Structure 1
């Protein structure tokens, strides 16, 4: 598998002095995703959990929603200048009867690690109908539990501790227990990885969980949470206006600025039980 970090020499300025030191950077490499032997897209990501990334990406694209719809995942041949396997091409083979994505939706074949929906023809094309409807809340999460999730996420980020250069996405139950965590240079990749792992384990929809992310809450992250059946998305920074609007329509609880003892609930606050 590819390396997660790369050691480099840096010149550091501190206390009015220059010094030479070694640092670790998070690796960013392209991953080509093929569907049934045909090129589908290329995304920039941190190597690792690639099969989960591909599976989660297909969920967010509305291609699959259950483990039995994905027949196989495999690395394809690919080598670098030294002839070493790069593990940078993954083919997903869909089960018989599962249709390929609508070819009328034009996509560029490249997405950056900062954008999970680049290349789509329009916002309307991205806002797909989710397979997992989010019901009216029957179970709630206590405010104290929700406020504790960012610190729990940060404490579990091993790659961030080494590099300081990756995002994280964590799936928690309503009691605040961490069920899974993935890290990546792209925040949307981190979410795809946790969703893909859940799909491959047969755990979708994630209807009794919270998705906690380390950055802001963008439209694409709300989209991915909705497609996975996640009822609560919490972020440490602000949501965008499109993210808020989609969360409202999807019946998803969207939280932002979750820091310390404060939080903003932008949509459907009824899933959060306030201080008693």
Structure 2
């Protein structure tokens, strides 16, 4: 093979870094820079009474919107129910420290993690998932209805706004849409559960929970932890580009969430809550 040394300019976006690579094919080797999604650890801990500090674990994430990530994570874990359960929050140097109010429901025996939360697993390290199963306790709104036109509009719009994915091919996205299919908010991260936490945390920070009149769309598969996070936030409809898991389907059915997967142009597979889909 023939080595070809070539210097190219590379445009990077927030959440990515440039790394050297060697592209090898039948014509030889081409040395080019590539845009790679950032993966970095974020340590999350909570303080009680401004004295006792408890580590919740380490999550592997793409830096950016860390405040929203921490808030969404605490909500989905059942540690807080609203923004008033948080007295203070500081994020910096890859650490997030939350001062909890007395109204929070933090239990170190339940909420402490035993290991790192990887970018591919949102529940790894938990001692038990029992608390997560009990979190969604509010009734899901039945008023929201959508059709295939809405789903199609959501898919097209989300793909157009996945900037980090366009440059790196290595990020997941979670987005919220109006009933008409208009994009409201979108977050990207190397971890699909992180992108969901960032989205939900942004609504929590604005005191806009529960989210009863919006559709949540995820760019990958519908896993149990994503369904649980969507339920805690109050979303009545969740659309996934990829496949669901058995636990995701069972939880969606148990709590009345519409779960539509394998979403593509003019086609979806609905595994629960078909009454919200108009034909």
- TM-score, normalised relative to structure 1: 0.90
DSSP 3-state at the match of 1:193: helix
1:11 aligns with 2:27: no
Q: Give the match for residue 92 of structure 1.
A: 98
Distance 1:142 1:127, change over 3 A: same
User: Residue 104 of structure 1: CA displacement?
Assistant: 4.3
User: Which one of the candidate residues 46, 51, 62 is aligned to 1:46?
Assistant: 62
Separation (CA, whole Å) in 2 of partners of 1:238 and 1:178 = 22
After superposition, what is the alpha-carbon deviation per residue over 1:40-87, rounded to whole angstroms, capped at 9, x for unaligned?
A: 1110000000000000001110111212222211035xxxxxxxxxx2
User: Residue 151 of structure 1: CA displacement?
Assistant: 1.7
Q: Give the match for residue 220 of structure 1.
A: 225
* Aligned partners of 2:148 and 2:266 also within 8 Å: no
Q: Give the match for residue 22 of structure 1.
A: 33
Separation (CA, whole Å) in 2 of partners of 1:101 and 1:154 = 39
Separation (CA, whole Å) in 1 of partners of 2:203 and 2:68 = 8
**Runs of 5+ unmatched residues, structure 2:** 1-13, 48-52
After superposition, what is the alpha-carbon deviation per residue over 1:96-118, rounded to whole angstroms, capped at 9, x for unaligned?
A: 33232352466314110100001
Separation (CA, whole Å) in 1 of partners of 2:105 and 2:276 = 35
**Runs of 5+ unmatched residues, structure 1:** 77-86
DSSP 3-state at the match of 1:216: coil
Q: Give the match for residue 160 of structure 2.
A: 155
Aligned-residue RMSD, C-alpha: 1.6
Separation (CA, whole Å) in 2 of partners of 1:73 and 1:180 = 22
1:68 aligns with 2:93: no
Q: Give the match for residue 81 of structure 1.
A: none
Separation (CA, whole Å) in 2 of partners of 1:14 and 1:103 = 53
* Aligned partners of 1:42 and 1:110 also within 8 Å: yes
Distance 1:74 1:128, change over 3 A: same
- TM-score, normalised relative to structure 2: 0.89
Number of residue-to-residue matches in the alignment: 261
